[in-house]
Amino acid sequence: MNDLFLRAARGEKTERIPVWLMRQAGRTLPGYKKLREKYGVLELAQTPELAAQVSSEPIERLGVDAAILFADIMLLPLALGVKLEIVDSIGPVIESPLENKADIERLLPFKKNQVQYLGETIRLLRSQLEVPVIGFSGAPFTLASYLIEGKPTRDWARTKQFMFDQPENWDLLMRTLSDAVIEYLSSQIQAGAQAVQLFYSWVGCLAPATYRKQVLPHVQRIFSALKERKVPRIHFGTDTGAMLEDFADVDCEVIGVDWRIELSKAREIVGKKTLQGNLDPSVLLCDWGVVEKKVDEMLENLGNRKGYIFNLGHGVNPKTDDSQIKRLVDYVHAQ
């Protein structure tokens, strides 16, 4: 097996820099696009043979060093009884957004048999691939934001209002979601996932003090609960530069960062943890000369490459040419 990613995640020295990219499974690749002509995102994610096909395409086509499970962060809310749909050009739309304690108490306890299809997808991938398989979950704040806002937002006003106006109910919601995330990720590890990533899309919208008080304790509990599973745990969030010291204050092996902070500064803050990131995805839309220059600058700024995993600072832009991604992977490997 190609175990570069796992060794780097544990802080070990590797012969070359391991590469995987967030949202590498889907979006830009031709096999995924063809499947999307026939199937919706949730249908793909809930059909193991198809989800395994999408998850493995980047390994075959791009040569990355790890496979990320093709799934959607809304699969966990679905398992909790939330009614929703994925609307093209919008994203997840919740039928009845949460407003109070009674709404939270109507959420169902998580049971792993509700996501058996993910376990089957992971088992298929483990039998087919020679690179590690990464499982993932949306983090409690991100999930809570969707459940309260009812759809993607640019200001998170309803979420923050709920957090500040109803602190006890907010804490109840975060505990409920954290319990579910622990079981959700544990079920993926039990099925064979060799690493897991907790994914924050929006936590950077919070003031550091708010994050520290009303989010971080729940995240710490998740990572502590997963420690006994003995697989690398990745903590990733966007726009976390202002709170990175707190963001990194969890018991995990890897901290992922976006492009808004230099890798040398991030390394200084996260200490001995492995660092993952952080090329701006928009760079891949540029001419190759620009890509090469930006990668060179990034790696020069990083310095010591031990305990480092190359990734983008967020997901692959849907407009990216997959030949450009392949060229990027090969270029980083050559370093």
Q: Give me the active site residues, please.
A: 23, 27, 36, 72, 146
Of 259, 258, 255, 279, the closest CA to residue 269 belongs to: 255
Assign 331 to helix, strand or coil. Answer: helix
21, 325 contact by CB (below 8 A): yes
Of 151, 230, 154, 144, the closest CA to residue 186 belongs to: 230
Give how far Cα 287 sits from Cα of 240, 266, 325, 331, Å.
Answer: 29, 27, 12, 14
Give how far Cα 261 sits from Cα of 46, 148, 244, 273, Å.
Answer: 36, 29, 10, 16
Rg over alpha carbons for the chain, rounded to the nearest Å, is 19
297, 4 contact by CB (below 8 A): no
Q: What is the DSSP letter of 197?
A: E
CA distance linking residue 67 with residue 57, whole number of Å: 9
The Cβ of residue 88 has, within 10 Å, a number of other Cβ atoms equal to: 8
Q: Which amino acid is at 249?
A: D
198, 129 contact by CB (below 8 A): no
109 CB-near residues (< 8 Å, 6+ apart) = 80, 180
Assign 102 to helix, strand or coil. Answer: helix
